[in-house]
Structure 1
Amino acid sequence: MVAVLDLAPPPPLSSELPAHPLPAHIRSRLRPQVSFAQVGAGVGPEIAAPEQMPPEVDAIEPDAIELDAIEPDAIEMNTGGLPKPDERRFIPTALANQAVQTPIIQTPIIQPPPTAPVPGLPATNQTLILSDIQVVGSSIFQPQDLATIIAAFQNRLLQPNDLRELSDRITQLYLSRGYITSRALDPVILGDRATVQVIEGSIEAIEISGTQRLNPDYIRRRILLGAGQPLNTQRLEAQLKLLRGDPLFKSFEASLKAGSGLGQSILVVTVQEAKPVTAQVSADNALPPSVGGEQFGLQIQHQNLTGNGDRLGGSYGRSRTGGSQQYSVFYTTPVAIASQTLPSGTVSASAQVTRTRITQDDFETFGIRGTSEQYAITYRQPLIRTPQQELALSAGFTYQDGQTFLFEDRPTPFGLGPDADGVSRTSVFHLAQDYVKRDASGAWVLRSQVNFGTGLLGATENSDPVPDGQFISWLGQAQRVQRLGKRHLLLAQGSLQLTPDELLPSQQFSLGGGQSLRGYRQNARSGDNGFRFSLEDRITMLRNTAGDSTLQLAPFAEVGQVWNAGDNPNRLSDQRLLASLGLGMIWQPWPQVMLRLDYGLPLVGLRDRGENLQDKGLYFSTSYRF
């Protein structure tokens, strides 16, 4: 419906502050509020889609889950607004979207072509007994597969109609396995022996019309994955359904017509391309209050830049106070491989620049700011891609460079890990696997990623146990979407990060915020290890004339905990287990407009709780696509 670009958040100010002129009471208040893992950190736009994912999922950036249904192959930007600080802990949006979209199209896209007439048996009333029956031309069925059919016609008295029934039964065997253009001809009789010739169907040609900017080979390559010989229409249907869900197309129709010879067919494809450029404006309060809390953003994407299905997109975001500004750009392109069974892979590249500044009243005069740059490249290769499931492997590399300052231009490290100039760098290789399994009542989304922090490109190095850029960590994620009757959609989501190493804050697992654990401010708690579990029931209250849900209520329960590895000198609060109950509302009056409001009631009262909307458990997000 998903290559992985893991653009981790910029380096944060961690929980321990170095000696500097700030009074102690100010330093204590800074700890929970100015972590740059909290402050404006974020990841770039998601890039993905199976052919599609998502779903030709060409490249996937771990992203905050945005569960509004889209077509499985859509390659979407972050539909929840600007890049979020906690996106790294979530199943990629494109994968998550596959789990809640409408069920797979069950109506066949193609129908068998008219059967060409073939010579029949000569008119005769003569009976005969056959001692030997041979079936030739079958590459699918072995002699043992046909033995039962043949045995019913051997060594007994046969009428001419019996011989025709022999061919019909063999033809029916092909039809039952999805080979609807294959057939068995009437037997050729020679004495007491009969030979049945099988004509196995094939695609003689693919005729494509309606393309404008898109290269027809983009369609042809994907169809050929399901158009092997003999032609199996079930496999062909699967590829056509994936193409029908591709966001490159506004409409996609296909039909078979008889070809020039027995068993040969011509596939006729008619498409209407969707508009290539899409954009979105958004607003939410998903940033930490210390940099403004509320943010506004613009995202734009060209989903067919050169006519080969490659995407180029970018986004800009700014917090209400100007405390956070983010610029990101990405490019992803399909990569055809020399295989008749594997779908095309995808190469993706992205870059993001983040500038953050503490604008909270109590601390603005200290001129605390940070900068971060992130660059990533990823290759993703689906191994299985059907309308029902997708399995893919991906490998990528991400470089991140960040620095923090005090009094505007004084390089200052916050916490143990960054160097004396407040600089922290990571060069991380990622290996990931993702799997989507859809059924009539819901879907599973599973994802596993191993991160290897290296010393390449000047990555931060420290003596144990001080955190640095050399580490190994594992992130596992799971989601189940279950339809319960006509009104209820149950979402269960879980994430778990484990590592034996002390991590820089940009690599840590965080809790809190509207896209994470509601009821608490953004990134209220962070640690080397952590887990999060969320259960939400989306209850449809209103539908439009098409039957689509326009208003949903969403009661939820969430819990999570973080803890550090080894002897990490950056101490954690003793309040590391968070839990909440709450209620959300999702309103989508038109397909391109979405508004979400959430209220989370914290079950664990934090001693460092503030007075911001997030601290009061209130979250909003709204977006308009055009």
Structure 2
Amino acid sequence: MDRLLSIAGVLASFLAQGYCTEGEVALNENLYPKNPNQLEAPEAPPYIADEDKIVIPCTKGIVIIGEPSQFHSGGVSGVEGIRFIDLKVPGNQEEFRSRLYFKYINKPLTFGDIRKLKQEIVTYYRSEHRPVMYVKIPEQKISDGTLQVIAVESLVGSISYSGNKHFKTEQLSRFVQLKEGGPIDDNRLAVDLDLMNRNPFRQTNVIFTPSDSALGVTDVEFVTNDRRPYRFYTGGENTGFEVTGYNRWFFGVNIGNLFRQDQVLDYQFTSGNSAHKFMAHTFRWVIPFPWRHNVELFGGYSRVHARILGTEIDTEGESEQISCRYEIPLPMRKSLVHEFSFGFDFKRTNNNIIPAGQPVIGSAANISQFIVGYNLGWETSWTRVSFTVEVFGSPGQLLPDESSEDYGSLRPGAKADYIYTRLAFVPIFHLPYGFSIVWKVRGQLASGSLLQSEQFGLGGFNSVRGYVDRTMSVDNAFLTNLELRSPSVSLSKLFLRKKRGDAFQLLGFVDWGFGRNYDTVSLTNNSNHLIGIGPGARYVIDPYLTARLDVGFQMHSLRFFDPFHYRAHFNFVLSY
């Protein structure tokens, strides 16, 4: 079935146009959590000569004061242990108190210990997502072995917005949970920025500035870099089949602020060299809700006219799809963002075209399946990791043309009730001098024979390079891709001495895919594998051009599919 080629394959290509993926020069920042720029507390001073000098021979008490007016320069007495005065301690207050008690109480206190005490208070508040904390130990008289510490948690002063030209301030403020006079919670702020930056037409960051109004007050400014919320594009790639033509030409439009409600609508038309042989319409519509959930609708329609190789017999087939996903962001940390999703797919097709060129036209078959999924993005200073798991399942016939007999007309042995799971794990490692390693691991495990729209495709740019797209369509699959990428350079700066917002990158890759089908006809399993290696290049002129070229050489040849043992995979997108 040309189903994945004509709908899902085109959808994947369509959704990627202009939104850089891991395969492009620029990574999609929206896949990872956005952490607010922290207003750092003053760095601890370096070691000094009198750091070991004892200030208090035996520390009886430490008073941590949240209101500077409660400080007594003449000292305090009668305090034993750790006492908090006018200070809101987030998290487990007793655990924090015990930690300080065992480290400092009934022990000598040196200048070095005082420095560590200040840093420990700051570190604790940061661990509780309160990033801006002023800690000071003023000059004071030490009475009865008691030390006073002023610790002022900064509160939000003014909240302002700047740089947004195409999105109203009112739209941006809907994402912000901070309140004037409230605490600065960097975990909530990271959630706000992550949701705000999911719109591909803007990028927002935050700046903290000490307020002139009072000590312990921080002004928060959201700085946005946006562009007009619409985009037209056209381009081409070679992701087709021999019987419908290898080339694919497309044009489309992205709208990033539909109805001025931050909704995103995408549409693309795709055809082969001859629209009579192959054409497809695809769309995607993302609707954000005020309660921070999203609904995503996507789907399309395709039509193929194919001639059976070696004959004069022409065949015609159609495929349709409409899908819905409901996405629920889960509580996140500063370096981790994740979400849960569920949804439903409806698909209809009457054709099965494989790369070998023998189309199968059977009775029309409907697919009604439910989906649950989980997505995770995690980032550190040297790596980025994304993980996705999705479970697809159908309980059996729900609609007409959905019986196992209908499925069997397109693939012998396929049943209307099934379940399968797909996994994707993609770590990206940052190396010295701007190099990086990208490792993709993907796979699928199915309960039985599937229609080709639900099978895993091996071969092609998004799979094993060096082979025609979907050289193999399998029920169970394991796929790994390993890339070494060079630093990106500006060709315009290199040759024209003036940077034009471009980036060029080289890479080398090794792809390996293994697949196995359930063969209910012969009562045996059949399997095969593909291996491709080669170089690649990426070039971007932001936001007008993206281009890629990969040349894959087959290390395991399937002669009946491709007699040339290598294949170049290209894609280019021109946008305005």
TM-score calculated relative to the size of structure 2: 0.75
Shift of 1:553: 3.2
Q: How does 1:396-411 map to 2 (within 5 A)?
A: 396-404=343-351
In 1, are the aligned partners of 2:34 and 2:193 still within 8 Å (CA)? no
Shift of 1:157: 13
Could you say which residue in structure 1 is the equivalent of 2:53? none
Matched, 1:428 2:399: no
1:296-333 deviation line (CA, Å, top 9, x unaligned)? 11121111213332101111111112221110122102
**Which has the larger strand fraction?**
2
2:531 aligned partner, one-letter code: A
Shift of 1:422: 2.0
Identity %: 18
Aligned residues: 523
Could you say which residue in structure 2 is the equivalent of 1:306? 259
Shift of 1:541: 7.7
Could you say which residue in structure 1 is the equivalent of 2:279? 325
Could you say which residue in structure 1 is the equivalent of 2:538? 586
Counterpart-to-counterpart distance in 1, 2:471 and 2:155: 60
Q: Residue 555 of structure 2 is aligned with which of 603, 606, 623? A: 603
TM-aligned CA distance change 1:512 to 1:247, over 3 Å: closer
Counterpart-to-counterpart distance in 2, 1:327 and 1:458: 25
Could you say which residue in structure 2 is the equivalent of 1:202? 155
TM-aligned CA distance change 1:187 to 1:47, over 3 Å: farther
TM-aligned CA distance change 1:308 to 1:569, over 3 Å: farther
Counterpart-to-counterpart distance in 2, 1:330 and 1:245: 15
The structure, 1 or 2, with the larger RCO (C-alpha pairs under 8 Å, 6+ apart) is 1
Could you say which residue in structure 2 is the equivalent of 1:354? 302
Counterpart-to-counterpart distance in 2, 1:224 and 1:392: 19
TM-aligned CA distance change 1:489 to 1:65, over 3 Å: closer
Could you say which residue in structure 2 is the equivalent of 1:488? 435
Counterpart-to-counterpart distance in 1, 2:84 and 2:352: 81
TM-aligned CA distance change 1:270 to 1:606, over 3 Å: closer
Could you say which residue in structure 2 is the equivalent of 1:22? none
TM-aligned CA distance change 1:404 to 1:139, over 3 Å: same
Q: Residue 245 of structure 2 is aligned with which of 258, 267, 292? A: 292
1:150-195 deviation line (CA, Å, top 9, x unaligned)? 799989999xxx9xx9999679714763342566899999x99999
Could you say which residue in structure 2 is the equivalent of 1:135? 84
Counterpart-to-counterpart distance in 2, 1:330 and 1:253: 30
Shift of 1:225: 6.8
TM-aligned CA distance change 1:563 to 1:196, over 3 Å: closer
Counterpart-to-counterpart distance in 1, 2:574 and 2:36: 32
Q: How does 1:19-418 map to 2 (within 5 A)?
A: 37=4, 42-44=9-11, 66-73=23-30, 95=31, 108=37, 110=39, 119=69, 129-132=77-80, 134-136=83-85, 137-140=87-90, 142-143=93-94, 145-146=96-97, 173-174=121-122, 177-178=125-126, 179=130, 180-181=132-133, 200-203=153-156, 205-209=158-162, 211=164, 214-224=167-177, 230-233=183-186, 236=189, 239-240=192-193, 243=196, 247-249=200-202, 252=205, 254-258=207-211, 263-322=216-275, 323-337=277-291, 344-358=292-306, 362=310, 365-385=312-332, 388-404=335-351
2:385 aligned partner, one-letter code: W
Q: What SS does the corresponding residue of 1:608 show, helix, strand or coil?
A: coil
In the alignment, structure 2 segments of 5+ residues that lack a partner are: 43-65, 494-498
In 2, are the aligned partners of 1:466 and 1:569 still within 8 Å (CA)? no
Q: What SS does the corresponding residue of 1:431 show, helix, strand or coil?
A: strand
Shift of 1:377: 0.6
Counterpart-to-counterpart distance in 2, 1:47 and 1:228: 45
Q: How does 1:442-521 map to 2 (within 5 A)?
A: 442-454=383-395, 455-458=397-400, 460-462=402-404, 466-486=413-433, 488-521=435-468
Shift of 1:274: 1.9
In 1, are the aligned partners of 2:530 and 2:555 still within 8 Å (CA)? yes
TM-score calculated relative to the size of structure 1: 0.70
Counterpart-to-counterpart distance in 1, 2:28 and 2:440: 21
In 2, are the aligned partners of 1:39 and 1:288 still within 8 Å (CA)? no
1:225-245 deviation line (CA, Å, top 9, x unaligned)? 799954345764675587578
Counterpart-to-counterpart distance in 1, 2:446 and 2:286: 30
